[in-house]
């Protein structure tokens, strides 16, 4: 059996009895960073052969996992923290196992995005997990445009060197919104810092962050009742050029600019 095992996101005690039992019974363990996983295994006096499975060798590792499974071996797959596959290596492994008809299961546990949502005190009724943003500013903003009209709380991952740029891009695309930066979850220096997108996150940036941002406000836009072409023309009549009118109409309708472009060609 192949098992994807959730591991602690900070405090080493945040691991389930079932996860420890699975690791103890595994014949081999595939992990994102062998040095990191060794600390967890040592803490629970578990000694197993370790194999690397990271974003640079995932397909090769998946083939090894499939071979071990075909031999009847018990394989455990972990990432450095939390659930494998979610913003971590493992998705390619899932696909290859499915293609080969090899069953796998999950051993659930700690989850950074859910923990951060609770710590943020923002609306937890509905939320959308987005993960890391693209690195380049243009791609970052274009990606955020897809979520500008979502009325669910948005959850992102952000590295300390990226967080200022990420927040700035969010403000430029979303406008003013409440947000919360959560770091060091379950650790001694756990922090949950509320802020407004316009002001940004102050202070020195340390550790990996989960950014929780409130969703769009529900509002009625009478322009949405118009046809796509009429919607764009309505903004052009207000003095906007075609490119800007297209952008505004797309934002109103919660669609990409490319989706509306065919309606603007002859304007």
Interval 22-68: pLDDT, tens? 999 999 999 999 999 999 999 999 999 999 999 999 999 999 999 99
Q: How far is CA 20 from CA 4, 50, 68, 86, in A?
A: 12, 15, 20, 20
pLDDT score recorded for residue 110: 94
Q: Is the dihedral of CA 182, 184, 55, 74 positive or negative?
A: negative
Q: How many Cα neighbours within 13 Å face the side chain of 114? A: 8
Pairwise CA distance, residues 37 & 30, whole Å: 9
Q: Is 93 exposed, middle or buried (0-12, 13-18, 19+ CB in 10 A)?
A: buried
| Residue pair 88/66 in contact by the 8 Å Cβ criterion | no
β-pairing verdict for 178-183 and 104-107: unpaired
Pairwise CA distance, residues 115 & 246, whole Å: 38
Pairwise CA distance, residues 110 & 9, whole Å: 6
CATH 3.30.950.10 maps onto the chain at 113-213
Q: Cα-flanking dihedrals φ and ψ of residue 11, to 5°?
A: -70, 125
Pairwise CA distance, residues 238 & 95, whole Å: 50
Query: How many other C-beta atoms are found inside a 10 Å radius of the C-beta of residue 213?
Result: 24
| Residue pair 127/117 in contact by the 8 Å Cβ criterion | yes
CATH 3.40.1010.10 maps onto the chain at 2-110
Pairwise CA distance, residues 85 & 176, whole Å: 32
Distance of CA 74 to the CA centre of its chain: 29
Mean pLDDT, the chain cut into blocks of 10 residues (267 residues total): 96 96 98 96 97 96 97 97 94 97 97 97 96 95 93 97 97 94 96 96 93 84 80 86 88 85 86
- Residues linked to residue 104 through DSSP beta bridges, in sequence order: 2
Q: CATH topology for 113-213? A: 3.30.950
Pairwise CA distance, residues 83 & 14, whole Å: 13
Question: What does CATH list as the number for 2-110?
Answer: 3.40.1010.10
pLDDT score recorded for residue 221: 65
| Residue pair 130/210 in contact by the 8 Å Cβ criterion | no
pLDDT score recorded for residue 29: 98
pLDDT score recorded for residue 231: 87
Q: Is 38 exposed, middle or buried (0-12, 13-18, 19+ CB in 10 A)?
A: middle
In terms of Cα–Cα distance, which of 79, 83, 80, 107 is closest to 19? 107
Is the pTM for the entire model greater than 0.85? no
């Amino acid at each position: 059996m192949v098992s994807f095992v959730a591991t602690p996101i900070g405090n080493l005690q945040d691991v389930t009895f079932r996860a420890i039992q699975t690791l103890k019974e595994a014949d081999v363990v595939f992990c994102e960073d062998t040095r990191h996983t060794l600390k967890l295994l040592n803490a629970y006096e578990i000694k197993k052969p370790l194999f690397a499975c990271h974003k640079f060798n995932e397909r090769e590792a998946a083939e090894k996992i499939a071979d071990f499974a075909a031999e009847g071996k018990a394989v455990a797959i972990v990432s450095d923290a939390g659930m494998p596959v979610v913003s971590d290596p493992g998705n390619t492994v899932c696909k290859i196992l499915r293609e080969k008809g090899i069953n796998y299961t999950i051993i659930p546990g700690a989850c950074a995005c859910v923990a951060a949502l609770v710590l943020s005190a923002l609306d937890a009724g509905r939320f959308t997990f987005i993960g890391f943003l693209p690195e380049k500013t243009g791609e970052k903003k274009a990606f955020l445009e897809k979520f500008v009209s979502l009325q669910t709380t948005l959850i992102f991952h952000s590295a300390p060197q990226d967080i200022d740029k990420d927040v700035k891009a969010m403000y430029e695309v979303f406008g003013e919104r409440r947000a919360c930066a959560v770091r060091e979850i379950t650790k001694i220096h756990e922090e949950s810092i509320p802020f407004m997108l316009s002001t940004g996150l102050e202070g020195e940036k340390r550790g990996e962050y989960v950014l929780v941002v409130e969703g769009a406000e529900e509002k009625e836009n009478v322009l949405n009742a118009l046809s796509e072409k009429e919607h764009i023309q309505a903004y052009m009549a207000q003095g906007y050029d075609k490119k800007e009118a297209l952008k505004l109409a797309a934002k109103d309708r919660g669609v990409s600019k490319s989706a509306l472009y065919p309606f603007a060609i002859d304007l």
